[in-house]
């Protein structure tokens, strides 16, 4: 999986590799003192030369070639057929003349270490063209022992050649440090392969139990992923096929291709893409053909071409599978697609960490080096859980379907038995019933028409009752206000009259003018004359406001209850809506907020009384829905809006009440359908409203969402043609 993941981002590696080298050569000596317990990365102290011919000798390299210093702690040389020469100089200031140099990339095809001595160059070659046992150590990564005198400075050259992505982490350390690092890496790999083995056995056991092909494809996928890791870590060459160097080189192409092919097979089966997205599913076969051609190129053509084909196929395939899975999840709400996206997201996060490590953005350590292994292990576990969830879901659906089929079969058998027993009797009875029905059909139709008329009249009487209750409530408030002001006014007038009488007696008395004036001022002060004037004025004003409010209500009633509703005439819809608001004002309980937005509407041809009845029915239902949601708390809102659009007007009545689901909306205008409790409604109000709007050659549309509220949008023509 790690190698397969590297193909996904090889283009990114290539861009990064363009910045590996510096433009100038400066001596950079590696000082080794042996004090660190961990090996040291020496990438930034390396000097690199690219030999495009592959034929330059070590002597020419030393004397004639110009090296460039690496910028990264882990040099990234890209995918190239060329040979790369790496020069570095070590000064041994430790207490030991034995050092180890390790290149932690098991995919390098051929690497040779040249040590410069007084007699020339000594070379030590590690190549995948030879069996593993030919190496002088058991490290799966290229490892060299550097014998260097204490206190001396030594120049070394590495000749590196490969046909895969050359990311070269070179570490220098003591034997103990290198050994401990190798133990930690192998321990981590052992844990990873342990997890993969457990997942393999677990899914194999389930496949044997349920015989579902999804598990078979997933088992093959787990195997191919595990073998990719065996190949990329070099553990496969070390332990499994150590005597087959040709197969070791081919494994770089075999296992990633098998991983891609098995992932496609598993994807198609697991997400049911053949049935859900048949056209998109066919494109997956093009990727299968591409990987088959890659294998052909690896065995019978150019290995560098094969590796580039792996890169070209991997990224589009990964993106295509993610996009297709996201589409299936979005369109069909398919649970397995969700699990697949989560699992692949975790895996891709591991890839991103691996890439960031290679370009030097995050540190190079065991965790970042193993990020793809961690991601693939977590992905494997998540997909195993997803498979189990899918099997359980399919099992539950199958059992439910079987139960329903069994019940249906039993019910059909019972019906057939009963029908066979009573068939002849029923035929006779039905014939007699049909004859009787034919005789009374006309009578039944007449009665039905009479009942329909009675029900319509009943709805009108119910509306009239609501109208009467509303008017009584609305008029009662201003009348109470008037009557409550009469007694205080009467009392104040009596006080005023008494004070005037006393002033008259003072005026005809024999007191001097000064004494009279003083007595009058005393009377005013005693009776609080200034406050008396203010209070009388306030009471008279209140009585006037009550009278005006009563007149306004009476005017609204006159507009609402037009007696000419059977006559087509021009009317102001805004005026009718306002009169309806006055009628239903008592239902608001000073809690529900009414918000109006009236446009400047022309007079339209209509039946005003019937339209007012429509507004009353819709507003009453809206208030009922608001009260049902908000109870006696504030927050409910009734919004009424009118618009003038070309030759039509629009009336929109919205509320933030309980709202409706799709099933309720479909039955909303059916006669006798109601969501209210028994006794609270007849179920005819909206049916009459629908027919009234239709009679006006208009339309009525309902927009509603359960729990959010509803909007009734009525469109009426200005002129009835």
Q: Which letter, b or e, does each residue of 491-500 get, where b requires 16 or more Cβ atoms within 10 Å of its Cβ? A: ebeebeeebe
pLDDT at 478: 64
Backbone dihedral angles phi then psi of residue 685, each to the nearest 5 degrees: -55, -50
3-state secondary structure of 41: strand
| pLDDT tens-digit series, residues 196-207 | 898 889 888 888
Q: What is the signed CA dihedral for 264, 269, 270, 272, rounded to 10 degrees?
A: 110
| pLDDT tens-digit series, residues 275-284 | 899 999 999 9
Cβ atoms within 10 Å of 48's Cβ, excluding its own: 22
**Which has more pLDDT, 404 or 227?**
227
| pLDDT tens-digit series, residues 267-320 | 888 888 888 999 999 999 998 998 888 888 888 877 778 878 877 887 788 888
Q: What angle do CA 295, 266, 344 make, to 5 degrees?
A: 95
**Nearest Cα residue to 5 out of 143, 164, 112, 157:** 164
8 Å CB contact between 280 and 319: no
Q: What angle do CA 584, 589, 591 make, to 5 degrees?
A: 115
pLDDT at 651: 93
Q: What is the pLDDT confidence band of residue 337, given thresholds at 50, 70 and 90?
A: confident
- Domain range 184-401, CATH architecture: Up-down Bundle (1.20)
What is the pLDDT averaged over residues 60-81? 85
Q: Which letter, b or e, does each residue of 73-83 get, where b requires 16 or more Cβ atoms within 10 Å of its Cβ? A: bbbbbbbbebb
pLDDT at 127: 86
pLDDT at 22: 32
Q: Which CATH number among 2.60.40.2380, 3.40.50.720, 3.30.565.10, 2.50.20.10 corresponds to the domain 2-178?
A: 2.60.40.2380
Q: Is the pLDDT of residue 452 over 90?
A: no
pLDDT at 18: 35
Q: Is the pLDDT of residue 481 over 60?
A: no
Q: Is the pLDDT of residue 436 over 50?
A: yes
CA–CA dist 659, 636 (Å, integer): 13
Instruction: For residue 673, give the DSSP letter.
Output: -
**Which has more pLDDT, 291 or 447?**
291
Percent of the chain at pLDDT > 90 equals: 15
- Which of 77-81, 210-214, 681-685, 696-700 is predicted most confidently? 696-700
Q: Is the pLDDT of residue 232 over 70?
A: yes
Q: What is the pLDDT confidence band of residue 117, given thresholds at 50, 70 and 90?
A: confident
355: left (phi over 0), alpha (psi -120 to 50) or beta: alpha
Exposed (0-12), middle (13-18) or buried (19+): which is 264, by Cβ within 10 Å? buried
- Which of 46-55, 392-401, 529-538 is predicted most confidently? 46-55
Instruction: For residue 302, give the DSSP letter.
Output: -
Percent of the chain at pLDDT > 70 equals: 81
8 Å CB contact between 375 and 203: no
8 Å CB contact between 697 and 720: yes
372: left (phi over 0), alpha (psi -120 to 50) or beta: alpha
pLDDT at 646: 84
In sequence order, the 6+-apart residues with CB closer than 8 A to the CB of 471 are 553, 557, 583
Which pairs with CB-CB distance under 8 Å and at least 24 residues apart come from 353-358?
354/2, 354/5, 354/6, 355/9, 355/12, 355/13, 357/74, 358/13, 358/16, 358/74, 358/76, 358/167
CA–CA dist 104, 492 (Å, integer): 108
CA–CA dist 649, 264 (Å, integer): 58
DSSP secondary structure letters along 103-167: E--TT-SEEEEEEEETTEEEEEEEETTS-GGGSSS--SS-EEEEE--TT-EEEEEEEEE-SS--B
pLDDT at 465: 55
In sequence order, the 6+-apart residues with CB closer than 8 A to the CB of 439 are none
Which residues share a beta bridge with 86? Answer: 48, 158
In sequence order, the 6+-apart residues with CB closer than 8 A to the CB of 335 are 389, 390, 393
What is the pLDDT averaged over residues 649-655? 94
Pick the range with the lowest mean pLDDT from 218-232, 324-338, 560-574: 560-574
| pLDDT tens-digit series, residues 72-109 | 888 888 888 889 999 999 999 988 888 899 998 888 88
| pLDDT tens-digit series, residues 18-28 | 333 333 333 48
Q: Which fold would CATH assign to domain 564-721?
A: Heat Shock Protein 90 (3.30.565)
pLDDT at 463: 54
Cβ atoms within 10 Å of 189's Cβ, excluding its own: 18
pLDDT at 488: 74
What is the pLDDT averaged over residues 116-143? 86
pLDDT at 454: 53
Q: Is the pLDDT of residue 15 over 50?
A: no
Q: What is the pLDDT confidence band of residue 130, given thresholds at 50, 70 and 90?
A: confident
Q: Is the pLDDT of residue 208 over 50?
A: yes
């Amino acid at each position: 999986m790690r190698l397969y993941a590297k193909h996904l981002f090889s283009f990114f590696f290539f861009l990064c590799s363009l910045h590996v080298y510096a433009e100038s050569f400066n001596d950079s000596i590696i000082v080794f003192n042996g004090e660190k317990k961990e090996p040291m990365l020496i990438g930034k102290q390396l000097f690199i030369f690219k030999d495009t011919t592959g034929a330059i000798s070590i002597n020419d390299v030393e004397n004639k070639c110009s090296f460039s210093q690496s910028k990264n702690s882990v040099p990234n040389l890209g995918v190239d057929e060329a040979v790369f020469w790496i020069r570095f100089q070590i000064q041994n200031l430790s207490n030991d003349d034995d050092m180890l140099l390790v290149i932690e990339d098991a995919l390098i095809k051929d690497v040779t270490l040249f040590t410069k001595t007084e007699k020339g160059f000594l070379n030590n070659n590690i190549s995948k063209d030879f069996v593993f046992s030919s190496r002088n150590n058991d490290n799966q990564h290229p490892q060299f022992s550097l014998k260097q005198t204490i206190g001396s400075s030594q120049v070394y050259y590495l000749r590196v050649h490969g046909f895969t992505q050359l990311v070269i982490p070179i570490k220098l350390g003591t034997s103990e440090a290198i050994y401990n690092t190798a133990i930690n890496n192998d321990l981590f790999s052992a844990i990873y392969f342990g997890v993969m083995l457990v997942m393999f056995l677990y899914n194999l056991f389930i496949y044997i139990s349920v015989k579902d092909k999804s598990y078979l494809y997933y088992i093959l996928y787990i195997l191919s992923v595990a073998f990719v890791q065996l190949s990329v870590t070099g553990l496969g060459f070390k332990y499994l096929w150590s005597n087959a160097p040709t197969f070791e080189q081919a494994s770089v192409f075999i296992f990633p291709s098998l991983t891609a092919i098995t992932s496609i097979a598993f994807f198609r089966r697991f997400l049911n893409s053949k049935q859900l997205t048949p056209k998109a599913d066919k494109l997956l076969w093009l990727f299968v053909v591409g990987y088959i051609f890659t294998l052909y190129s690896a065995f019978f053509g150019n290995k560098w071409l094969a590796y580039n084909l792996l890169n070209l196929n991997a990224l589009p395939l990964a993106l295509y599978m993610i996009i297709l899975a996201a589409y299936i999840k979005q369109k069909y709400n398919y649970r397995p697609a969700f699990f697949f996206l989560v699992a692949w997201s975790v895996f891709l996060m591991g890839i991103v960490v691996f890439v960031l490590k290679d370009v030097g953005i995050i540190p190079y350590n065991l965790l970042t080096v193993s990020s793809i292994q961690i991601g693939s292990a977590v992905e494997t576990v998540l997909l195993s859980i997803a498979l189990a969830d899918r099997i359980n879901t399919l099992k539950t659906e199958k059992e439910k379907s079987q139960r329903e089929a069994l019940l249906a079969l039993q019910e059909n058998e019972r019906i057939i038995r009963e029908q066979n027993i009573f068939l002849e009797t029923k035929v006779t009875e039905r014939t007699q019933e049909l004859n009787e029905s034919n005789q009374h059909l006309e009578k039944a139709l007449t009665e039905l028409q009479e009942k329909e008329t009675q029900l319509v009249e009943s709805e009108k009487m119910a509306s009239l009752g609501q109208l009467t209750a509303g008017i009584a409530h609305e008029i009662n408030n201003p009348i109470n206000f008037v009557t409550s002001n009469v007694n205080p006014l009467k009392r104040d007038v009596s006080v005023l009259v008494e004070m005037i009488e006393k002033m008259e007696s003072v005026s005809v008395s024999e007191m001097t003018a000064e004494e009279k004036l003083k007595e009058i001022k005393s009377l005013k002060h005693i009776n609080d004359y200034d406050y008396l004037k203010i209070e009388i004025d306030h009471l008279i004003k209140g009585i006037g406001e009550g009278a005006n409010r009563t007149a306004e209500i009476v005017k609204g009633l006159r507009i609402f209850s037009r007696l000419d509703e059977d006559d087509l005439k021009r009317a102001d819809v805004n005026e009718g809506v306002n009169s309806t608001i006055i009628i239903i004002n008592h239902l608001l309980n000073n809690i529900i907020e009414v918000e109006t937005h009236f446009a400047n509407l022309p007079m339209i041809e209509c039946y005003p009384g019937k339209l007012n009845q429509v507004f009353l029915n819709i507003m009453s239902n809206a208030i009922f829905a608001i009260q049902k949601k908000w109870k006696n708390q504030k927050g409910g809102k009734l919004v009424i809006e009118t618009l003038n659009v070309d030759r039509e007007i629009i009336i929109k009545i919205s509320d933030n009440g309980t709202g409706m689901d799709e099933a309720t909306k479909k039955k909303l205008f059916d006669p006798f359908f109601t969501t209210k409790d028994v006794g609270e409604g007849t179920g005819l109000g909206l049916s009459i409203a629908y027919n009234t709007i239709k009679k006006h050659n208009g339309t009525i549309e309902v927009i509603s969402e359960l729990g959010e509220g509803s909007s009734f949008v009525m469109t009426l023509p200005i002129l009835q043609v």
